[in-house]
Structure 1
Amino acid sequence: MAYRLFEGKDHASSYLKYRISPSDHLIQKVLDFLEKRKGGPYELAVDVGCGSGQGTVLLAKHFSSVVGTDISPAQLELALQHAKEPNVTYRQSVAEELALADSSVDLMTSMSSFHWFDRPRFLKEAHRVLKPRGCLALLNYTIEMELSYADCSSQALNDACKEFYEALKPYRSPHLGANSIELYREAYNSIPYPDKEWQECVWVKRPMPLSSYMGFVESFSSYQRLLREDPLKAARLSQDIRQKLMSIMRVTSEDTEVLVAVKYFYLLACKPDEV
């Protein structure tokens, strides 16, 4: 079965505000893989589990048409409110049953959502809709981010971050296992395409206010579950970590900018020419 999360309006708003999109470098890795296998021009890209569209829009300038799909009306409502690219559209759809023609898609992406799908069914659906030589790109990042700040102990900062992550582990979905990277590695091994690529460690560094880092972690499903089950405990945890980080940084404002390193991994696969 697929898992339905991130659907409430408050969570969707938090997702839009704090979730990061893949870097230009990562998107270029995907496009380079596609270019070497298929070559342009490209007609259609589909971003499955698109959420509020942060990653979807990054494809707009490379394709005649881009479609973002998601199961959540609240997420799609926000995507539509912020839609600016005329060639990007959004549809409500489950990941495993896409209203797309056979062999019609040049590139299918899923950015930080594949782990929630019925993975075998989704991979069969991806095979159905991809053109021969069309490509599948599954990207995600781990929750274990690393912070740095000038004139400050990175060890102390990241010990506080690890305390945050450890406190959230009991609220992590059992579906994800100890680390969602294993679900992607399993998918990589199960895809029968001979032409595929696996990369499990790409660090992307982004400056952001400390408040945005906190909001980012709080947008994860584990924190949201804690928030639903025990709002006071969630609030105390968040406030304790904020205060520890500001104390280590010797600052008084959570608007202070920190450098956040995010660890990405990805799977790329090219559908063979059909015989």
Structure 2
Amino acid sequence: MAVRLFEGKDHAAVYLQYRVAPQKLINRIISYMEKKTPKQFNLAVDVGCGSGQGTIHLSPYFTKVVGTDISAAQLEMAQTNSSPPNVSYRQCPAEEQPFASGEVDLVTAMTAAHWFDRKRFLQEADRVLRPGGCLALLSYTMDMELEYGDVSSKLNDICKEFYTALLPFRNPYLGSSSLKIYSDMFDSCSYPDKEWNDCLRLSKTLPLSGYIGMVETFSSYQILKQKDPIEAERLSNDIRSKLLSAMQVSSPDTEVSVVIKYFYWLARKP
């Protein structure tokens, strides 16, 4: 694991509370797999599974689903979540999966692969995948948008203030663009059957407090919080107040549409 983050219990708890799972993307992964092998699959492995929001959505399609993560705190949160009986969790580095060679039908990483030792992870995914198995990597850009009545443009100007304030705290391992990380990983994958998708806009209705909570789970916010917790709290409160004012409401429980811009790639092992 190239970078170890999200391991504190408090961070793991808010991760479980606020992170969302992209069901529509799960459907696209399964559709891609079923083009060649239209049947129930045996084993899916969700690497860097965090608190398991995405892991559990794989359960209807596989006999067994295993979420793996380096963080004991994240896995503890995952196990407090209500999971189907065919879902379990294992603690291990992304680059050292506890599965036999050729045993796995699907290896996926949902908003996690940018933290891995990317070359070693791709080699390990190739080792554990069966011939015809699928590798699916997905993430999203930080610039989530809000939609609310006729003030969406104002809200997104305020959101940009939030993201700009956090930019100096971006982990240097990520470079300037997470999308470029995934694009480079896609280019380095030697499988001839692969596809790249650079923007899928998915909308989710959340209370405004849920949007703030999501941003607070980002590594850049957590770094700011560690360095200056008072400033981190001031920033969140300031953004929340500005958004409420623009919406002309007083309750942070007021619902908004949060637009998340996903990118992802899929590849089938020969």
Write the deviation string for residues 224-267 of structure 1: whole angstroms up to 9, x where unpaired: 00000001111111111000000000000000000110000001
What is the CA–CA distance in structure 2 between the aligned matches of 1:69 and 1:186, rounded to whole Å? 24
Shift in Å at residue 41 of structure 1?
2.5
Partner of 1:242: 240
CA-atom RMSD in angstroms: 0.8
Size of the aligned set, in residue pairs, is 270
- Preserved contact between residue 38 and residue 134 of structure 1 (Cα < 8 Å): no
Which deviates further from its counterpart, 129-138 or 31-40? 31-40
Counterpart-to-counterpart distance in 1, 2:57 and 2:81? 13
Equivalent-residue separation in structure 1 for 2:127 and 2:251 (angstroms): 51
- Could you list the structure 1 runs, at least 4 aligned residues long, displaced by more than 3 angstroms after superposition: none
- Partners of 2:205 and 2:40 lie apart in 1 by 34
In structure 1, list runs of 5 or more residues that go unmatched. none
2:200 maps to what in 1? Answer: 202
CA distance in structure 2 between the partners assigned to 1:40 and 1:98 by the alignment: 25
The Cα shift of 1:82 comes to 1.3
Identity between Structure 1 and Structure 2 (%): 57
Q: 1:113–1:140: 8 Å Cα contact kept in structure 2?
A: yes
Q: Which moved more, 1:39-48 or 1:156-165?
A: 39-48
Counterpart position of 1:13: 13
Q: 1: distance between equivalents of 2:95 and 2:39?
A: 27
Structure 2: unaligned runs, 5 residues or longer: none
Give 1:40 shift. 1.9
1:126 is aligned to: 125
Give the residue type in structure 2 aligned to 1:264: Y
Aligned to 2:153: 155
The whole-number CA distance in structure 1 between the counterparts of 2:258 and 2:76 is 29
Q: Which amino acid aligns with 1:110?
A: A
- SS in structure 2 opposite 1:43? strand
For the 8 Å contact 1:47–1:56, the answer to whether it is kept is yes
The answer to whether 1:143 aligns with 2:133 is: no
**Whole-angstrom CA distance in 2 between matches of 1:25 and 1:87:** 21
| Structure 1 Cα separation of the partners of residues 208 and 202 of structure 2 | 17
Cα deviation 1:28-55 (Å, max 9, x = unaligned): 1100111113332210000000000000
Q: Taking structure 1 as the reference length, what is the TM-score of the superposition?
A: 0.97
Alignment of 1:1-275 (within 5 A): 2-22=2-22, 24-150=23-149, 152-272=150-270
Report the Cα offset of residue 83 of structure 1: 3.7
Give me the whole-angstrom Cα distance separating, in 2, the residues matched to 1:254 and 1:81. Answer: 26
SS at match of 2:98: coil
In structure 2, the residue corresponding to 1:178 is in which secondary structure?
A: coil
Inter-partner Cα distance in structure 2 for 1:245 and 1:212: 13
Query: 1:205·1:261 contact (CA, 8 Å) conserved in 2?
Result: yes
How far apart, CA to CA, are the structure 1 residues paired with 2:219 and 2:130? 34
Paired amino acid for 1:7: E
Distance 1:130 1:37 in 2: 15
Q: Deviations over 1:113-156 (max 9, x none)?
A: 00000000000000000000000000101110110112x32111
| Matched residue type, 2:5 | L
Q: Deviations over 1:89-113 (max 9, x none)?
A: 1000100001100000001110000
